[in-house]
Amino acid sequence: MPGLVVDLDGTVYRGESLIPGADSALRRIRAAGHRVVFATNKSVERARSNADKLTALGVPADPDDLVTVNDVLARHLMQRLGPEQRVLVVGEAPLHEELTAAGLTTVSRWEEADSVAMGWDRNLDYATFNAAFQAARRGAYVAATNPDPTCPVEDGELPDCGAQIAALETALGRDVDIVVGKPAATMARAAAARLGLAPEQCWMVGDRLATDIRMANEAGLSSALLLSGSTPAERTGDGPWRPDRVCADLAEFADWFLGQ
């Protein structure tokens, strides 16, 4: 029985508001026996706060139901670098906490950094940005959470980690070493593993072509693009990434998915 990897922002909710019908859609999918995990590129929130938010919106969830980009990044750095490596963090408290919980050593001085972990930072200042730049220029390995240029909110969008990555890459004159969040296969493998399934046994349901659908296409998941978030109907054919299904929202997807 296929499992579902479901995006959050623009798919289940927008800002603090549930997208109409998302709660009942997920309830019906779960009642039919399909496992669901939620995959988020949002590095400024903890798994617990995501689970609490979903539950308050009528979608019961535990932290184990969340595959967060912070957890994926922490695991990647531990596997690649080991706990003895020192990490300069550009990001908010949830990213710092996840890296520390994984056993990584964080530092504030760029001269001490073996790697840079970059997440979305809504308080980013020049000194912090420059520290990341100096560490990277000195040879530190740069791993970022997610490539999203913006994050959807109730009244529009905000610049996200992708905008920070672009600024750092412009200054460095090269790409960062890795971005682990969607559309990376790193995220797809983590989500499929959480479901206990192979990627080809999973559906990715999300609102962005360049992250959700691209990840599905490249990692072997089936995919559904929802028009409830960042992708308007007239842009569904943009780029090389193709969803298996296009639906207005989760309610429409559930009707189709459960009616097969």
Residue 153: pLDDT band with limits 50, 70, 90: confident
Please tell me the predicted confidence (pLDDT) of residue 154.
72
Distance (Å, rounded) from C-alpha 19 to C-alpha 103?
A: 37
46-76 confidence digits (pLDDT tens)? 999 999 999 999 999 999 999 999 999 999 9
Token pair 């989760």 is found at: 250
Convert the pLDDT of each residue in 189-246 to its tens digit: 999 999 999 999 999 999 999 999 999 999 999 999 999 988 999 999 888 999 999 9
pTM: 0.89
Q: Angle, to 10 degrees, between the axis of helix 69-81 and the axis of helix 93-101?
A: 40
Q: What's residue 222's pLDDT? A: 98
Distance CA 156, CA 148 (A): 15
The reported pLDDT for the residue numbered 260 is 76
Q: How far is CA 22 from CA 1, 56, 239, 246, in A?
A: 21, 13, 27, 16
Give the DSSP letter string of 76-125: HHHHHH-TTSEEEEES-HHHHHHHHHTTPEEES-GGG-SEEEE---TT--
Strands 222-226 and 202-206: parallel
pLDDT higher than threshold 90 for residue 253? yes
Could you tell me which residues come within 8 angstroms of residue 23 by beta carbon, excluding any fewer than 6 positions away? 57, 58, 59
- Domains of the chain (ranges; CATH) run 3-41+182-258 (3.40.50.1000), 70-179 (3.40.50.1000)
Q: Mean pLDDT across the chain, nearest whole number?
A: 95
237 backbone φψ class: left, alpha, beta (φ>0; ψ -120 to 50):
alpha
Contacts of 191 (CB under 8 A, 6+ apart): 5, 37, 39, 67, 202
In sequence order, what E strands does 119-189 have? 141-144, 150-153, 156-159, 178-179
Determine what percent of the chain is predicted with pLDDT higher than 90: 90
pLDDT of residue 230: 85
Q: What is the pLDDT of residue 91?
A: 97
Contact 22, 229 (CB under 8 A): no
Q: What is the DSSP letter of 248?
A: S
Residue 170 has pLDDT above 80, yes or no: yes
pLDDT band at 176 (very low <50, low <70, confident <90, very high): very high
Determine contact, residues 203/224, Cβ cutoff 8 Å: yes
Q: According to the model, what pLDDT value does residue 239 have?
A: 87
- Per-residue confidence band for 81, with pLDDT thresholds at 50, 70 and 90: confident
Each residue's pLDDT tens digit, 29-40: 999 999 999 999
Q: Which helix (H) or strand (E) holds 4?
A: strand 3-6
Annotated catalytic residues are 7, 9
Residue 123 confidence (pLDDT) above 80:
yes
